Amino acid sequence: MKLEGSGKLGERYVGIVGVRDPYTIANIDLVTAWARQQVVERFGDSGYELYFTIYGRNAILGDREPLKALPAHELGIVVQAIAPTKSVAEEVCMIATRQMFYARLPDVKGTAGGVAFLLDEVMLASPAYRWTLNHTMRLADPLELFPTFIVEAGL
């Protein structure tokens, strides 16, 4: 018999930003690192999970993307924050999303904002889960864990 299971990781909020500036695109890992660091300074480095998914570069294949070094002319970044409570998840997501706007890159003089906001908010998403059980169990009889009973309803 196949046994599969998943465990809840926490509540989740999602933020979305866009990037058009070529220098920012070329240094996008520094931008997400900056944003993550701002979260660390507020919450430390544990007790939450934070993901940046960078559409237009390697969102779908991750490190397996052969064209990772050739990003598109604009990027969409989806931020996911997961924490035990909605309020912490919301704040982690808000800091990580908004701080990309304020990221400091070497040689950039402008201070008007490094990313484009689709929405000036973060959105509640479904809670996050991860697979925790992927197992098969040998049974002598396929129905032994699913007994069938017949009872008189007395009607």
Q: How many CA atoms lie within 13 A of 123 on its CB side?
A: 11
**Of residues 103-142, which lie at the interface with other proteins (CB under 8 A)?**
128-131, 134
* Choice between 31 and 93, CB closer to other proteins: 93
* Choice between 85 and 134, CB closer to other proteins: 134
CA 36 to chain centre: 13
Query: Per CB under 8 A, does 70 bind other proteins?
Result: no
Query: Per CB under 8 A, does 66 bind other proteins?
Result: yes
* Choice between 4 and 41, CB closer to other proteins: 4
Identify the helix (H) or strand (E) that includes residue 129: strand 123-136
Query: Per CB under 8 A, does 149 bind other proteins?
Result: no
Closest CA to 14 of 64, 81, 66, 92: 81
The 76-105 site mask, x for binding other proteins (CB under 8 A), equals ----x-x-----------------------
Cα three-residue angle 135-137-140, rounded to 5 degrees = 165
Closest separation in Å from C-beta 130 to other proteins? 5
Query: Per CB under 8 A, does 47 bind other proteins?
Result: no
Stretch that binds other proteins, among 32-40, 47-55, 110-118, 145-153 (CB under 8 A): 47-55
Q: In sequence order, which residues have a C-beta less than 8 Å from that of residue 89 and are 6 or more positions away?
A: 10, 11, 12, 13, 48, 81, 82, 83
* Choice between 111 and 126, CB closer to other proteins: 126
**For the purposes of burial, counting CB atoms within 10 Å of the CB of 52, is it exposed (0-12), middle (13-18) or buried (19 or more)?**
buried
